[in-house]
């Protein structure tokens, strides 16, 4: 579960992930959670009379990360291929001869590793939930503020129809609200104990295996599964898939903001501070650097999801290879996803919105953005085919002669015969053709 920590002197890693998530999914936390599982197992078995109470107390006292001999543990891990055997030996020695013989009673390596990972994920999901809530609150506030702020809607990167910036924020927000719901829904499926012994049957504990598993689950405040999941990796894969979905929603938000920041568009901007997004050679540049790192980290997460899905193909009762993929992929995915999320929060909370520029951009096409509105207005009089033909003809003239749409339409007797200048002006006003944008925005806001 090792990941780079900027506190160790790294430089580039400050651009990816967060220190908070690295603290949760890093190697130190992983070893600490394994010790916590071993101590909890001893306490649970002591409550059932399997392990002496004084042994459980001694094991709990000894189970501290600071007491580990990390170089020795690294050597043992390299030899065994897993850290558990070396950790158990050290914990047993630290607990003392009598108590030490009760360490790891009835457990298997994968029980300790998987449960430790679950404990890490519990803390990781708290970080994600907290910052996802912040992001949703920030986007909701933007949607309320700009419910009536008209701007160009774009399809295929071309102006299409008027929308509002509040509606655009609602489109960003809606899947993120769903992500928050998904997170709550997946927690019961992911935050579950792993305890099955050597081959998943807990045979070493005789008829008391399930009782120990249930006691251990209570000790760790985890769900007790219906069966050990040594060879059923769907919960870990689901966690990764959630991160992929979340990252995709964040990338959509960041990509849109990045496009809106283009010099020729300039409708929205990342929060600026001196030096933010600066260029080494072009002092005028204010690059969308936060957006870029949202997108980059999102792509990183999504590249890791297939690895986690591939790790589901576990053979028999204990896999020979697929399981080892998870420690490579899952910590990276959580680190990058949280990095993308925190950058997105920064953008949402601090972005500047230029409503005047939005209006000027609406006017840049000379009213062509209202072509559909005019066509729909003419249809009752000219029929759909006639209306489409008249507006298409006017658009061609407007583009060729650099006229406004209204000017081009005013040359067409078919149009002027059924629409006066006031009606034409109303049909070419972007604020008159917003459809249900405000209602859709309100529906999304009502979900919070």
**Greatest Cα pair distance in the chain:** 103
Tokens of 13: 């890693």
**First CA to last CA distance, the chain:** 35
Candidates 28, 47, 218, 318; catalytic one? 318
Catalytic-residue membership of 318: yes
* Burial letters 285-320, b for 16+ CB under 10 A, else e: eeebebbbbbbbbbebbbebbebbbebbebeeebbe
Q: How far is Cα 84 from Cα 108, in angstroms, rounded to an integer?
A: 9
Catalytic residue, candidates 204, 279, 431, 436: 279
Q: Is the dihedral of CA 361, 296, 28, 89 positive or negative?
A: positive
Of 31, 36, 38, the residue nearest 102 (C-alpha)? 38
Q: What is the number of alpha carbons within 13 Å of residue 405 lying toward its C-beta? A: 25
Which residues, including other chains, have CB under 8 Å from residue 117's CB and lie 6 or more apart? Answer: 1, 30, 33, 236, 326, 327, 330
Report the SS3 class of residue 200.
coil
Q: Are strands 268-269 and 352-353 parallel, antiparallel or unpaired?
A: antiparallel
CA distance 312 to 53: 39
Pairwise CA distance, residues 258 & 157, whole Å = 13
Question: What DSSP string describes 284-333?
Answer: T----HHHHHHHHHHHHHHHHHHHHHHTT---TTS-SSGGGGHHHHHHHH
411 among known catalytic residues: no
Supply the DSSP symbol for 417: T
| Residues with a known catalytic role | 279, 318
């Amino acid at each position: 579960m090792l990941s780079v920590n900027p506190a160790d002197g790294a430089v580039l890693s400050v651009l990816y992930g967060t220190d908070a998530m690295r603290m949760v999914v890093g190697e130190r936390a992983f070893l600490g959670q394994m010790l916590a599982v071993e101590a909890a197992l001893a306490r649970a078995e002591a409550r059932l009379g399997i392990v002496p109470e004084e042994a459980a107390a001694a094991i709990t006292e000894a189970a501290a990360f600071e007491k580990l001999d990390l170089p020795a543990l690294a050597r043992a891990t390299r030899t065994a291929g897993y850290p558990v055997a070396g950790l158990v030996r050290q914990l047993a020695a630290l607990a003392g001869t009598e108590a030490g013989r009760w360490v790891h009673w009835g457990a298997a390596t994968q029980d300790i590793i998987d449960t430790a990972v679950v404990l890490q994920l519990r803390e990781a999901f708290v970080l994600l939930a907290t910052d996802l809530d912040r992001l949703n609150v920030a986007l909701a506030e933007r949607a309320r503020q700009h419910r009536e702020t008209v701007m160009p809607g774009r399809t295929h990167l071309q102006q299409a129809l008027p929308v509002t910036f509040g509606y655009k924020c609602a489109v960003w927000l809606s899947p993120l609200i769903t992500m928050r719901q998904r997170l709550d829904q997946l927690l019961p499926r992911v935050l579950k104990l792993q305890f099955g012994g050597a081959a998943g049957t807990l045979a070493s504990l005789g008829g008391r295996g399930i009782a120990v598993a249930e006691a251990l689950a209570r000790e760790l405040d985890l769900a007790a599964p219906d069966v050990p999941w040594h060879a059923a990796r769907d919960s870990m894969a689901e966690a990764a898939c959630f991160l992929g979905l979340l990252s995709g929603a964040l990338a959509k938000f960041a990509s849109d903001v990045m496009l809106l920041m283009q010099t020729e568009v300039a409708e929205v901007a990342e929060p600026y501070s001196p030096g933010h997004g600066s260029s080494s050679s072009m002092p005028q540049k204010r690059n969308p650097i936060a957006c870029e790192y949202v997108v980059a980290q999102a792509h990183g997460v999504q590249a890791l999801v297939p690895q986690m899905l591939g790790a589901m193909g576990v053979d028999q009762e204990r896999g020979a290879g697929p399981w080892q993929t998870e420690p490579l992929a899952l910590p990276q995915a959580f680190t990058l996803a949280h990095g993308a999320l925190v950058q997105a929060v920064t953008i949402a909370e601090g972005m500047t919105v230029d409503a005047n520029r939005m209006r000027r951009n609406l006017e840049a096409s000379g009213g062509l953005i209202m072509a559909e509105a005019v066509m729909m207005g003419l249809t009752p009089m000219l029929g759909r085919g006639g209306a489409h033909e008249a507006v298409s003809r006017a658009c061609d003239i407007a583009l060729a002669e650099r006229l406004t749409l209204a000017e081009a339409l005013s040359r067409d007797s078919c149009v002027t015969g059924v629409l006066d200048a006031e009606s034409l002006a109303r049909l070419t006003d972007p604020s008159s053709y917003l459809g249900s944008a405000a209602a859709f925005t309100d529906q999304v806001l009502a979900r919070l």
